Amino acid sequence: MGNAVTAIQKEKEYVAKMNGFLNDPTKFMIDSRDTFGDVFLIESSLVNQKVAGLTGPEALAQFEARFADGTLVKAGALPPGIADLLGPVLSTIDGDVHARRKAAVLKAFTLPQLAKYAPVIRHIVQSEHSRWAARGGTISLACMTKELVFKVVLAVLYGLEGEFDEYRTMVSDFVDSIRVSATKASADGKDARESFTQAILAPAIKQSKDRVASGQAISCVLDCWVEWKELSDDELNIEGFNHMFAGVGGLSGLATNLITPLVTLPAIRANVFAARDAFLTKYGDDRWNHLDDLGYINQYILEVKRLFVAGPTQVYGKATTDFDVVTSKGTFHIPKGTIVSAGLETTNRDGDTWSNPDEFNPDRFADFELSQNLYKFCPHGVGHTTQRRCPAEQLVTLVCQSVLLSYFDFTWNMVPGQNFAVQDKSVTPVPVDGLTIVGFTRRADSSSYGTAGSEGDWKFLNLPEAKTLVGKHEGGLFSDPRLDLWTQLMIKQIGKKQMKWDRPFADSALTIPTQFVPLEKLTLAQTSIQIPIVDEDWPSAPWLEVKNSNFLRDNAPFVDDFKHKFLPGEDGERYVLSKVGHMWPRVNVHWNDRYSDRAIELIAFNGLGSHMVEKLPAEQPDGSYYGILLNFMQVLEVRPGFAKYGADAFFDKQGKLLKIQRGDNT
């Protein structure tokens, strides 16, 4: 009876372990390593799958060797739904197919190619940081860094520069869908990938081919792949999206967590600042040409990579035959059909591999050579890049170096009382409160870190009574000298009025003017602008608003400012919206569909076209009853030789679109 109870208890433990593997592979690997050691096998008669875990340099070296000789394969290693969702990407293919494609992909990530990408990365990083400084107020480094990294990846991968942040959610939606695709590929995930491909990737590939064909290739990964003609069109699409979704999340997490140790570990912060000052003193304005000599800063970046998760932390293979894993701790037998998981994070945090593994200590990388530690340091996969290691590992380092080096030009203050612990159950965790800062400005002295006010100050600003005073402009209390008193106060007043705004109705809100006389006016101080001081509508305005407006008019002169200008690379529209965007008119209809018949019907009868709809003199034989008749505008050209204005649209009695007549064509 005792043996039976023991067997049942073990069976329960095995089933619990298997469930843990399915729900949280990272925690499963760490718990199992702590319980069973560097190599372990979990099997259960109740769960039709064996799972083995490998941790530590010795085991991981054999993991790569078993892929090389075919003992381990990718086929069947991932749940079928996830394999279907990902498609035949580098991380799911085997043998000669993998070797050929990996060799072609790697050509875009050589050191000479990275040197070509470096100026592009620098330009985007510095422009974005300048935009943050111009924006002022309170910002989240985590949120802003996601935008920055997406721009960098778009430029380096696809050669696209500009505002494409609306498409970032498609990549995030795809990544999120992986978690729910174990048994069947998520339809939402497939839709997200297809939408991104059609909107961004496919046009980027076409533009790349056009550039290469005309001898005008630029410094981006796509142009490299297209120019060397070693990847098919399908492979360009597959790897183009694979490198986007696999890279942008992890890279944004690492770029964000470059700051996390600085705000939580004063000793590390002091060391980084000392290294920064020494580097700037040594190289000055030439510093961007010496990223290889960052010294302690490069050690710091490697330690951030080791300790902070930047994507999936396991690599999987399936055993095609029985084999043994032989380490200094013993020989372990792996049966055929076992799913073998190589633990990357568990190795990076393994006490037998690293001294004090949970301590953040950049000094451990003082004499570090990656080529000699391919199975010890594995934030981007394990082993050689020609095998299963991430091809873009050095690109990630280059981006982190660029972000940190650009930060050297700025200073900011942390909002007190934040939770700096990283998020739980996130593939790319960042601090819970997003590293919220204020006063991000260009650095004028040796300081580059501080805390804005006291915790009591920020508690006061969050009181309801305080929020009625400063509204959504508390960030303005700490920022932007480019805004004069008149602008600051007028933004507050208009914002307060807008918060009380409700939809007006024409029959009650509009009245017919009763006076037709010249209005008494005054000239604003220091301008030539005349404004009326009487108005029929003023009596209905709240007395306090009238007095406030009069005060601004008479005591806070409106003066043109020719001194402060937009910063290099600053988006003027974004800057303005950062100040007044919160009181922009509310959007009640989102026109996601702009090209269907239904879209035209909505615009015609419920939108801007409603004042132009007219009833036809008589119903036409095809049922046309209403029309918007703009064909007469055909004499005007939008682009000479390409397009003209104007067309007639005809609708039936129910407002359904029947036909469009453009010129003589219907």
**326-336 pLDDT, tens digit each:** 888 888 888 99
What pLDDT, on a 0 to 100 scale, did the predictor assign at position 471?
Answer: 46
Smallest CA-to-CA distance from 545 within 495, 493, 505 is with 493
Q: How many angstroms from the chain centroid is the CA of residue 318?
A: 33
Q: Comparing 525 with 165, which gets the higher pLDDT?
A: 165
> What integer is the mean pLDDT of 32-47?
45
Q: Looking at residues 47-72, what average pLDDT do you find? A: 84
The pLDDT assigned to 611 comes to: 81
Point out which residues pair with 654 in neighbouring strands.
Answer: none
Closest CA to 26 of 345, 315, 310, 351: 345
pLDDT in tens, 350-385: 888 888 989 999 999 998 888 888 888 888 878 787
Lowest mean pLDDT among 187-191, 447-451, 518-522, 645-649: 447-451
Closest CA to 255 of 378, 142, 416, 87: 142
DSSP 497-527: HHHT-----HHHH-------SPPPEEEPTTS
For residue 118, pLDDT over 80 is answered with yes
413-424: per-residue pLDDT in tens?
888 778 888 887
CA distance 33 to 56: 10
With cut-offs at 50, 70 and 90, classify the pLDDT of residue 3.
very low
Look up residue 99 and give its amino acid: A
Pick the CATH number of 100-414 from 3.50.50.100, 3.90.1150.10, 1.20.1440.20, 1.10.630.10: 1.10.630.10
**Which amino acid belongs to residue 256?**
T
Q: What does pTM read for this prediction?
A: 0.66
Over residues 88-100, mean pLDDT: 90
Question: Residue 649 is encoded by which pair of tokens?
Answer: 């649209």
Mean pLDDT, range 10-28, rounded to an integer: 45
Contacts of 279 (CB under 8 A, 6+ apart): 287, 290, 293, 294, 295, 297
Share of the chain above pLDDT 70, in %: 75
What are the pLDDT digits (tens) for 393-405?
A: 899 999 999 999 9
Sequence-distant (≥ 6) Cβ neighbours of residue 407 within 8 angstroms: 129, 258, 259, 448
Average pLDDT of the chain?
80
d(CA 394, CA 407): 20
Q: What is the DSSP string of 541-607?
A: S-HHHHHHHHHHHHHS------S--PPTT--HHHHHHHHHGGGSPPP-------SSHHHHHHHHHHS
Report the pLDDT value the prediction gives residue 10, as an integer from 0 to 100: 38
| SS3 state of residue 33 | helix
Predicted local confidence at residue 45, as pLDDT = 40
| pLDDT of 494 strictly over 60 | yes
Per-residue pLDDT tens for 228-237?
999 999 999 9
Cα distances (Å, whole numbers) of residue 446 to 150, 295, 310: 30, 19, 31
Tokens of 71: 């003992």
Tell me which residue of 251, 249, 250 sits closest to 125, measured CA to CA.
251
Q: Are 450 and 413 in contact (CB under 8 A)?
A: yes
| Residue 39: strand pairing partners | 54
Q: Where residue 210 falls among pLDDT bands split at 50, 70, 90?
A: very high
- Does 105 have pLDDT greater than 50? yes
For residue 271, the model assigns a pLDDT of 94
- What per-residue confidence (pLDDT) applies to 116? 95
390 annotated as a binding-site residue:
yes
User: In the beta sheet, which residues pair with residue 340?
Assistant: 52, 317
How far apart CA 611 and CA 592 sit, in angstroms, is: 23
pLDDT at residue 225 greater than cutoff 90: yes
Question: Domain spans of the chain?
Answer: 100-414, 479-583, 597-661
- Position with higher pLDDT, 79 vs 584: 79
Q: Any idea what DSSP says for residue 463?
A: S
Computed over its alpha carbons, how large is the radius of gyration of the chain? Answer: 31
How does residue 472 score in pLDDT terms, banded at 50, 70 and 90?
very low
Distance between CA atoms of residues 410 and 442, nearest Å: 4
CA proximity to 375, closest of 634, 38, 15, 628: 38
Q: What is the pLDDT of residues 250-305, one digit of tens each?
A: 899 999 999 999 999 999 999 999 999 999 999 988 999 999 899 999 999 999 99
How far lies 574's CA from each of 57, 123, 136, 617, in Å? 49, 18, 12, 48
